[in-house]
Amino acid sequence: MSDSNLIENDFLSQIIAVVEKNISNEQFGVSELADEMNMSRSNLLRKVKKLTKLSVSQLIKEVRLKRGMEMLRKSALNVSEVSHQVGFSSTSYFIKCFREHYGYPPGEVGKRDEAEMNPVPVARSNRKRNFIMLGAAGLIAALAIGLFTYYTLLSSGPPALEKSVAVLPFKNDSNDSTNVYLINGLMESTLNNLQKIEGLKVISRTSAEKYRNTSRSIPEMAEELNVNYFVEGSGQKIGDQILLNIQLIEGPSDKHLWSMQYRREVKDIFSLQQEIAITWRPMICF
């Protein structure tokens, strides 16, 4: 290994060590890492991008998720406890990031480890896979019926929560800061369409905007805003594609209720806004 490679590996090891030292501090981000490394923010961004092809915030998130995976495997902590110990103020956001990074939710870590230690015989595995494939259509139909029933009964089942919702500032997952305007436009569209629903109390954007970079938990924000439901969103523009993730969360309990992912071409931005309105209207009506 060349001297330059050794230096680069040492630099990345130092970064990871600093992040892990501050792993539970949800406020620890790019600026704080640059200070700890005695580097300018711009120099840190350039060097990390060159070595890893990742932004600094993405690298920090990956370190947090890796530690989260280790804790889920080796400790008796639940998902919510682990998420806070690795610097995620929102359990639902931790679940979302974990699923995107590893391909499955954190609640399945123990089950998957057990499956790897006790593999199913090939013949049995094939039979099971065929059974799943044959029943896929029925399962999807049952899921759709179940979700419809859940959201229909939620309005009449005791105790019913007030129909109030806040749309939190959408996060820009792109490295390009100019995409903030695009993501904010989708947030505005979601907010405007919710405001058209009769009988639904919708918190203004001005009131929700102060939580853009907050460290408060969902239940804390629910209490401050006197609201029972939250819509969270994040998006990014990749080439001529837009990838948008939106989820519905019950405020007092921080319970993840529903999520939807949209992938569309940039030219279809207006039809995407309409699709969001059509999709979320029956769900948010509870």
Instruction: Return the closest-CA partner of residue 19 out of 40, 42, 48, 46.
Output: 48
Instruction: Return the closest-CA partner of residue 268 out of 182, 195, 199, 160.
Output: 182
| Residue 106 and residue 170 in one domain | no
Residue 154: inside a domain, yes or no? no
Residue 141: inside a domain, yes or no? no
Cβ atoms of 228 and 251 within 8 Å: the answer is yes
Residue 253: inside a domain, yes or no? yes
Which burial class, exposed, middle or buried, applies to 12 when counting CB atoms under 10 A from its CB (0-12, 13-18, 19+)?
A: middle
Residue 78: inside a domain, yes or no? yes
| Residue 280 and residue 168 in one domain | yes
Residue 131: inside a domain, yes or no? no
Q: Which domain-ending residue is among 82, 112, 142?
A: 112
Query: How many domains would you assign to the chain?
Result: 2
Q: Which domain-ending residue is among 112, 134, 154?
A: 112
Helix axes 91-102, 56-74, angle to 10 degrees: 90
Cα separation, 122 vs 88, whole angstroms = 39
CATH number where 81 lies: 1.10.10.60
| Residue 172 and residue 102 in one domain | no
Cα separation, 4 vs 17, whole angstroms = 20
Cα separation, 271 vs 151, whole angstroms = 25
| Residue 189 and residue 272 in one domain | yes
Residue 157: inside a domain, yes or no? no
Query: What pLDDT does residue 5 have?
Result: 64
| Residue 208 and residue 276 in one domain | yes
CATH number where 272 lies: 3.40.50.10610
Range of the domain at 43: 3-112
| Residue 170 and residue 108 in one domain | no
Q: What are phi and psi of 68, to 5 degrees?
A: -60, -45
Query: What pLDDT does residue 182 have?
Result: 75
Q: Long-range CB contacts (< 8 A, 24+ apart) of 245-252? A: 245/96, 246/190, 246/276, 246/280, 247/92, 247/96, 248/280, 248/283, 248/284, 249/92, 249/218, 250/161, 251/166, 251/218, 251/219, 251/221, 251/222, 251/227, 252/161, 252/219, 252/222, 252/223, 252/228
Q: What is the pLDDT tens value at each position of the chain, 286 positions in all?
A: 455 566 667 888 899 999 999 999 988 888 889 898 888 888 888 888 888 888 888 899 999 999 999 999 888 889 888 988 999 878 888 898 898 888 888 888 877 766 665 654 544 545 544 444 444 444 444 444 444 444 444 444 445 567 888 889 888 877 776 677 777 777 887 777 777 777 888 888 888 889 988 888 999 999 999 999 988 888 887 777 778 888 888 888 888 888 877 787 767 766 666 666 555 554 555 5
Residue 194: inside a domain, yes or no? yes
| Residue 180 and residue 79 in one domain | no
Q: 203 Cβ partners below 8 Å, 6+ apart?
A: 164, 165, 166, 167, 225, 227
Residue 142: inside a domain, yes or no? no
